[in-house]
Amino acid sequence: MHSAARFLLPAAAGLTLAACSSEGDLVVNQGVGVTALRSLCPAVGVPDYTGDITTFRSPNSRLASDLDIEANITNVRTTCDEQGDRIYTNATFDVYASRADTRGARTVELPYFAVVLRGGSSVVTKRVGTVSVTFADGQDRAVGQGQAGAFINRADATLPEDVRDRITRKRTAGDADAALDPLADPQVRAAVQAASFELLVGFQLSEEQLAYNATR
């Protein structure tokens, strides 16, 4: 599965992620006078090209005849606790795997990462774990489960009061800035970005595996 997230680890691009919905700061979403609830919870997603992993029996082979394991991350689910000074988000996900050789029972360990980003590019934390997937004898498909959690300081995810005031200030038709989007102000945009966090999960891939996913 390739998510809608436009972010690569280690290569960088932009992000389009689905945030958990709950009460938070009021911000302008699109256009002047249009407000929405900005959740303090981090957005959660799977970066492009990291939601799949393929292994081969011969390390240097990319032939279909040498295929060993294929797996993908799916069904990402999140919960978020915004109570207290530290916000906790937990993400769970399924790993659907298939194998080419169905002879004998087999367990495979698939590595994955969990990264917390601030402002779209600054890595706050990164952890690496594994998901176990067990195939029964004669079985070509199996499912495993994984999870990742992250704590974020509430103060770091909260917009400064002066920025909140600039964003939510009511404007009338006669105001000089009535037609201006507050987020067009570089200082406001920078403050919103600095208070925005993401929790990203994906397979921990080698450079060769990442390139394979990006070009197939």
As given in the structure block, the two tokens for residue 103 are 């002879």
Residue type, 147: Q
- Global confidence as pTM: 0.76
pLDDT at 182: 64
Q: Coil, strand or helix: which one is 98?
A: strand
Encode pLDDT of 117-136 as tens digits. Answer: 999 889 999 999 999 999 99
- Output the CA–CA distances (angstroms, integers) from residue 87 to 26, 40, 92, 127, 180, in the order listed: 18, 8, 17, 18, 33
Instruction: Encode pLDDT of 134-176 as tens digits.
Output: 999 999 999 999 999 999 999 999 888 877 777 766 665 555 5
Measure the CA–CA gap between 54 and 68, rounded to whole angstroms: 7
